[in-house]
Chain A
Amino acid sequence: MATPALQLEHVSKVIGGLTILEDISLTVQPGERRAVIGPNGAGKTTLLNVIAGFLPATRGRVLVFGRDVTRLPAHRRVDVGLLKTNQQPAVFQELTTRQNVLLALLRGRHPLLGLGGLVERDREIQRQAERVLEEWGLLDVADVEVKHLPHGYQRRVELAARFALRPKLLLLDEPAAGLAVDEIPAFIERLKQLPRDMTIVLVEHSMRVVFSFADRITVLHHGAVLADGTPEEIQANEEVQAAYLAGAMRGRDAGAA
Chain B
Amino acid sequence: MKATALSKHWRTVAVAALAVFLLVAPALLPTYPLSVLTEILIFTLFAMSLNLLLGYAGLPSLGHSAFFGTGGYAVGLLAKYYGVPMAAALLIAIIAGIIVALVTGPFVLRTHGAYFLILTLSLTQVLFGVVWLWRDVTGGDDGLPGIPTPKIPFLVGRISDTANFYYLALLIVGLATAAIAWIVRSPFGLALVGIRENERYLEGLGYPTWRLKYVAYAIAGGFGALAGGLFAYFKGFVGPGQISWLLAGEGMIMVILGGAGTFWGPAVGALLVLLLRYEVSAFTQRWVMILGIVFILNVLLLPQGIVRLPQRIREIRARLRRETTLVPPIREASASTERSVERVVERS
- What is A's interface to B at a CB cutoff of 8 Å? 52, 54, 73-76, 78-79, 83-84, 86, 90-95, 99, 102-104, 106-110, 113-120, 135-137, 140-141, 143-144, 148-150, 153, 156, 161-163, 165, 183, 186, 189-190, 193-195, 197-198
The CA-CA distance from A189 to B202 in the complex, in Å, is 29
Can you name 12 A-B residue pairings with CB atoms under 8 Å?
A75-B204, A75-B205, A76-B208, A78-B205, A78-B206, A103-B190, A113-B212, A114-B191, A115-B187, A119-B185, A144-B327, A190-B337
Contact with A along B201-231 (1 / 0, CB 8 A): 1111111110110010000000000000000
Q: Is B328 among interface residues, defined by CB-CB distance under 8 A? A: yes
Which of B167-175, B237-245, B246-254, B339-347 lies at the interface with chain A? Answer: B339-347
Contacts A144-B328, A194-B345 known; A120 to B185 CB distance under 8 Å?
A: yes
- Please tell me the number of chain B residues within 8 Å of chain A, measured between CB atoms: 48
- A149 contacts B330, C-beta separation under 8 Å: yes
B9 contacts chain A at the CB level, 8 A cutoff: no
Bound Cα distance A137, B337 (Å): 6
Bound CA span A73–B187, Å: 21
Counted as pairs of residues, one from A and one from B, with CB atoms less than 8 Å apart, the total is: 144
Contact of A54 with B200 at beta-carbon distance under 8 Å, contacts A108-B206, A140-B328, A156-B337 already known? yes
Does B194 belong to the interface (CB within 8 Å)? yes
Contact of A163 among B191, B336, B344 (CB under 8 A): B344
**Any chain A CB within 8 A of the CB of B142?**
no
Contact among B209, B211, B212, B338 with A186 in the assembled complex (CB-CB below 8 Å): B338
Name the residue on B nearest A186 (C-beta). Answer: B334
Asked if A137 contacts B333 (CB within 8 A), the reply is: yes
Contact status B344-A116, CB under 8 Å: no
Is B186 part of the contact surface with A, judged by Cβ < 8 Å? yes
A99, A103, A118, A186: the one within 8 Å of B186 (CB): A118
Q: Which of B198, B205, B333, B344 contacts A104 (CB 8 A)?
A: B205
Contact at B185–A193, with CB atoms within 8 Å?
no
- CB-CB nearest in chain A for B191: A114
- Indicate whether B182 reaches chain A with its CB closer than 8 angstroms: yes
Any A CB within 8 A of the CB of B325: yes
Is B331 engaged at the interface, CB distance under 8 Å to the other chain?
A: yes
Bound Cα distance A81, B296 (Å): 48
B338 partner, pick from A118, A150, A153, A189, beta carbons under 8 A: A189
Residue of A nearest to B189 (CB): A119
Asked whether A103 lies within 8 Å of B205 as measured between CB atoms, the reply is yes
Q: Is B183 an interface residue (CB 8 A)?
A: yes
Cα A86 to Cα B333 in complex, Å, equals 23
Tell me if B15 counts as interface (CB < 8 A to partner A): no
In the assembled complex, the Cα of A153 lies from the Cα of B211 at a distance in Å of 31
Decide yes or no whether B1 CB sits under 8 A from chain A: yes
* A104 to B206 alpha-carbon distance, docked (Å): 8
Complex Cα–Cα for A141 and B201 (A): 21
Nearest A residue to B343 via CB reads A135
A189 to B190, CA, bound (A): 35
Q: Which of B194, B205, B215, B342 has the most CB of A within 10 A?
A: B205
Q: Known interface pairs A75-B206, A113-B211, A197-B348. Does A103 touch B336 (Cβ–Cβ under 8 Å)? A: no
Min Cβ gap A110→B in Å is: 5
Is A193 within 8 A of B341, CB to CB? yes
The distance in angstroms between the C-alpha atoms of A75 and B348, with both chains bound, is 23
Most buried by B among A92, A116, A153, A165: A92
Q: In the complex, which residues of chain A have a beta carbon less than 8 angstroms from the beta carbon of B4?
A: 143
Minimal Cβ-Cβ distance residue in B for A148: B327
Considering the chains assembled together, what is the distance between the CA atoms of A197 and B347 in angstroms? 12
- Contact across chains for B330 and A150 when beta carbons are under 8 A apart: yes
Q: Give B72 Cβ to nearest chain A Cβ, in Å.
A: 27
A161 to B185, CA, bound (A): 20
Residue of A nearest to B324 (CB): A148
Which residues on A sit within 8 Å (CB–CB) of B215?
Answer: 113, 115
C-alpha gap A119/B337 in the complex (Å): 28
* Closest A residue, CB atoms, query B348: A195
Q: A83: nearest residue on chain B (CB-CB)?
A: B204
Contact present for A190 and B206 (CB under 8 Å) = no
Other-chain residue from B194, B208, B209, B327 in contact with A92 (beta carbon distance below 8 A): B194
CA distance A74 to B191 in the complex (A): 16
Min CB–CB distance B262 → chain A (angstroms): 13
A190→B212 contact, CB < 8 A? no
Residue B260 at the chain A interface, CB threshold 8 Å = no
Whether B42 is near chain A, meaning CB under 8 Å from some CB there, is: no
B106 to chain A, nearest CB (A): 16
* Minimal Cβ-Cβ distance residue in B for A144: B327
B92 located at the interface, meaning its Cβ lies under 8 Å from any Cβ of chain A in the complex:
no
| Shortest Cβ distance from residue B22 to the other chain A in the assembled complex, whole angstroms | 23
Measured in the bound complex, the distance between the Cα atoms of B41 and A114 in whole Å is 28
- B345 touching A103, Cβ below 8 Å: no
Residues of chain B from 1 to 44 with CB closer than 8 A to chain A in the complex = 1, 4
Chain B CB count within 10 A is highest, among A114, A150, A162, A190, for A114
- B345 engages A113 (CB within 8 Å): no
Asked if A113 and B190 make an inter-chain contact with CB atoms under 8 angstroms apart, the answer reads: no
Is the CB–CB distance between A153 and B330 below 8 Å?
Answer: yes
Q: What CA separation (Å) do A82 and B228 show in the bound complex?
A: 45
What's the Cα separation between A143 and B2 when bound, in Å? 12
Contacts of A144 in B (CB 8 A): 326-328
